[in-house]
Chains A and B, each alone.
Chain A
Amino acid sequence: MTHLLETLFGSVFWSAVIKVVLAFAFLMLTALVLVWYERRVVAFMQNRVGPNRAGPFGILQTLADGLKLLFKEGIRPRRVEVGMYLAAPIVAMIPAFLIFLVVPIGAPIHIGTATVTLQGADLNIALLFILAMSSVAVYAVVLAGWASGSKYPLLGGVRATAQMISYEAAMGIALVPVVIQASARLGGDVGIGTLSMTTLVHAQEGVIGHVSLPGVFHVLNPVFDVVTTWFPAWFFFPLIISFGVFFTAAIAETNRAPFDLVEAESEIVGGYHTEYSGFRFAMFFLAEYINMFNVSAIAVTLFFGGWLGPGADLPYVGWLVPIFWFLLKTYALLFVFVWIRATMPRLRYDQLMNLGWKRLIPISLGWLVVFTVAKAFATFGTPWS
């Protein structure tokens, strides 16, 4: 068995095939669990019980719903633009899967001589790839809205164009300090930056370590050292502003409440997927939840140390422990997603645009300047000294 796995993962082709199949299965399973998780948590927050009949604690409810959708008639309205109408759900699914492929869900596993990385591919441009794919995901919504040949989907599609494009800018800028911080942690030298997710996780290993405070704050250094030798070197702590901007933009990117104007049920009847039924609707639904998991996984990888956590050197189960930590952190973050959905009312359209262009983008730009200058001073020394 070990020998077989060693042979399979030794070959590029077979390891890719196995990983892709496993990633697909994992994502489908995740979407099933996630829908149930969200419904239960929201139900608890609304003094309800939520789905609790199908299977233990109702965990099979999503499977039942999915099977129902699978067997439902796929109604195609007469006025749709057929090709694009049929393609849009697939366009929604593909970027969702591709983004997940570059996210490492655990530490590399060694089987004999073969090393298995727990991600589809360790791209050296993973961050750019993620941003690019999330841009492609906008097309699905816009095309679905336009191709439906109906008013509400069109409104949803138009909203999606404005919303997702404007929040993507803030999201991209918010990620730049992560790369800068990683390069500072990795080499200490300027120029050793990285966009690879695995390397970014490795850059968060250990504790924060000694931070020499500038000027008069120097006297606080002993106190500060106690804190910094105890806290893990997750980028969340130095880059909390980046995280805030990234997380807000990520909610908007995934069309989640309170930024769900694209599919506002009470205003535009579901928006872009109004005219979709059966399994075509299920694909949009799946893509939305997979995207939700993706942005949480990316946030965990970039800000919360990804798979890092104690216990990875345990015998026998050591290789599972990083996966456990990764999933625990991701689901904790997903809880925040659901929590926000249960708490915040939907934004008005102008509020959405104001928040995006007048708050998030200036904040992320200003923070980028401040952080970059501070890092430059810390590396090269201040110009006045």
Chain B
Amino acid sequence: MSGPFAGFWVTLKQMFPGHRVTTQYPEDKRVKPQRFHGRHVLNRYPDGMEKCIGCELCAGVCPARCIYVRGKENSADAPVSPGERFGFVYEINMLRCIFCGLCVEACPTEAITMTHLFEMSVTDRQDAIYTRSELLMNPDGSVPHPQPDSVLIDKGELLQADGWMRATSPSGRAAYEGIPAWTPTLGAGLRPAEQGQSVGRLAGSWVREDDTASGDREAVPSPQPPPIGMGGGADAGKGQRETGSGDPEGGARG
């Protein structure tokens, strides 16, 4: 059949089973990409210590200025974090947040990460400001969420860290791939590295000249995990002080 009537078979064909593309959202959820940017969570080390050291780098880098952090000195006998200080006020205004993930990138201790949960609708603007008690991981490794459990909210998604946090070769250099440079997290342990990041792994794609032309991958300096994390309290604390003095507004409230 041709002419103006050729289209009729096309539309009729779509009625047969197997052509539908709609996902019935609350009941069936689509698989999210590895690097999905959902709501934030403040992590703990496996021993229960908080990762946040109150350095306010996240607040400083936030383009939406939605993060408000205030650090406080750890007491010597009952420290909250391994660093000098800990974030004793931590607020994110989810109405202002653009979910860019720069806070995750800026964080020196992987304290703040993003999860796969995005169901955060509220009926009051005040409720959109997530406080420390809603962001911080519980001592048992679970993550609190202000909304009650429903068909919409899958708390399991709160335990899935976004892929950026698990990226090992951000420059696309294959030699760094699969080598974690982060610290273990309560509940999840040492998260595995994201797979398939280096450019050379992608078939037919662009490969950096210095990785291939020289012919010896051994020439690339072997990667060293950055000296941050469990033992990095002093460094991180110094960073916090520098930020605090350099930016008098220090984490201005959005």
Contacts and interface: CB of A to CB of B under 8 A. Distances in A.
Interface residues of A, number: 11
B20 A339 contact: no
A339 B21 contact: no
A344 B7 contact: yes
A344 B8 CA distance: 8
A47 interface: yes
Contact of B15 (A44, A49, A344): A44
B107 to A, nearest CB: 41
Contacts of B12: 45, 339
A47 to B, nearest CB: 5
Interface in B13-53: 14-15, 19-22, 24
A44 B18 CA distance: 11
A339 B11 contact: yes
A161 interface: no
B3 to A, nearest CB: 12
Contact of A46 (B7, B14, B24): B14
A3 interface: no
A49 B20 contact: yes
B4 A45 contact: no
B213 interface: no
B22 A343 contact: no
Contacts of A78: none
Report, as a range, how many residues of chain B touch the other chain.
Answer: 10 to 19
Given A47-B21, A49-B20, A49-B24, A343 B14 contact: no
B8 A45 contact: no
> Of residues B11, B14, B20, B22, which shows the largest number of chain A Cβ atoms within 10 Å of its Cβ?
B11
B10 interface: yes
Contacts of B14: 44-47
Contacts of B11: 45, 339, 342-343
Given A45-B14, A45-B15, A343 B8 contact: yes
Contact of A343 (B10, B19, B20, B24): B10
* Chain A interface, >50% SS class: helix
Nearest to A41: B15
A79 interface: no
Nearest to B15: A44
Contact of B8 (A44, A46, A49, A339): A339
Contacts of A48: 20-22
Contacts of B15: 41, 44-45
A72 to B, nearest CB: 23
Nearest to A258: B4
A353 to B, nearest CB: 17
Contacts of A49: 20, 22, 24
B19 to A, nearest CB: 5
A45 B14 CA distance: 5
A8 to B, nearest CB: 45
A48 B14 CA distance: 10
Contacts of A343: 7-8, 10-11
A360 to B, nearest CB: 14
Interface in B75-107: none
A52 to B, nearest CB: 8
5 pairs of A and B residues whose beta carbons are closest in the complex: A45-B11, A343-B11, A343-B7, A49-B22, A44-B15
27 contacts: A44-B14, A44-B20, A45-B11, A45-B12, A45-B14, A45-B15, A46-B14, A47-B14, A47-B19, A47-B20, A47-B21, A47-B22, A48-B20, A48-B21, A48-B22, A49-B20, A49-B22, A49-B24, A339-B8, A339-B11, A339-B12, A343-B7, A343-B8, A343-B10, A343-B11, A344-B4, A344-B7
Interface of B: 4, 7-8, 10-12, 14-15, 19-22, 24
Given A47-B22, A48-B20, A343-B8, 18 more contacts: A44-B14, A45-B11, A45-B14, A46-B14, A47-B14, A47-B20, A47-B21, A48-B21, A48-B22, A49-B24, A339-B8, A339-B11, A339-B12, A342-B11, A343-B7, A343-B11, A344-B4, A344-B7
